[in-house]
Amino acid sequence: MNRKYTYTVLVILITILLYYSNEYVDKQNEDYPKTEKIADDSKEEFDESFLPQSTTGVIVKHNYYTLSYSEKHEQAEWVAYELRSTHFSKNDFKRPYFVEDREVKTQSADWRNYKKSGYDKGHLCPAGDRTFNYDAFHETFLTSNISPQNQEFNRGIWNRLEQKTRYWARKYDGVYVVTGGVLQGEMKSIGEERVSVPNYFYKIIIDTSNDEYKAIAFLIPNQASSDSFYNYVVAIDEIEKITKIDFFPMLEDSIENKLESEINLQAWGKR
């Protein structure tokens, strides 16, 4: 068998393999159950006082998180959820494929936009925050819940912040989390659908334990960094200014103004 023939056979086999791989993922997408509101011990109603304003008018309420989708940027402008001390388990679920979010009427971005882009499919609501049952875990793999993240950022400083958030959820018996990319200014894009690549990501964490409110917010560049995430603590007001999002409009004004204007690292154990 000459080399030319061998090369041709290999090309054909690889083409067939890629075709059926894509067909399998498409079948997974078709089989993914349409979101149904469920009731179980791990699912309680989210306190909507902690939902931000949607600048797009496209709010999707899933069973385990809520998001505001930006069709222009093919991703959520924010994802909000409660992370409780009871949400942590050692379940080792099989990682599912990313699938489109059927609840987004204009369709969320196809996962193929990320192929060979050099960017990670960065979860906004982390899969690690939803290991208490498979439905919750699976729900984080909807493409409405991902955003293009620099690989070193996603696996480095951002991952360390996600772990710290879990620490606070345990310490304070639950926290509210809002996170997303800053979808403003000039941005790169990836894929045929031109998914925007945020230059910054933010995460806002609120604790209401002991009937007292406190918040901590981070605004971090989407790039590799060995810095401490504490170097990127900002007031929520600053994130509102650059995102154009009013984060907690349903809270009483006195509580909202205090949460959004102050920076108090000591309240979060930082000396």
pTM, to two decimals: 0.85
pLDDT by residue, tens only, the chain of 271 residues:
565 555 665 655 555 555 444 444 454 444 454 444 444 444 556 788 899 999 999 999 999 999 999 999 999 999 999 999 889 887 889 999 999 999 999 999 999 999 999 999 999 999 999 999 999 999 999 999 999 999 999 999 999 999 999 999 999 999 999 999 999 999 999 999 999 999 999 999 999 998 899 999 999 999 999 999 999 999 999 999 999 999 999 999 999 999 999 999 999 988 7
Q: Residue 261 in contact with residue 251, Cβ under 8 Å?
A: no
Encoded amino acid at 90, one letter: K
Q: What is the DSSP string of 205-244?
A: EEE-GGG--EEEEEEEESS---S-GGGGEE-HHHHHHHH-
Strand segments (E) across 134-199: 146-150, 175-181, 188-190, 195-197
Helix (H) or strand (E) holding 236: helix 236-243
Cα separation, 29 vs 48, whole angstroms? 30
Structure tokens at 192: 């045929």
User: Rounded to whole angstroms, what are the CA distances from 173 to 89, 103, 139, 218?
Assistant: 15, 31, 23, 21
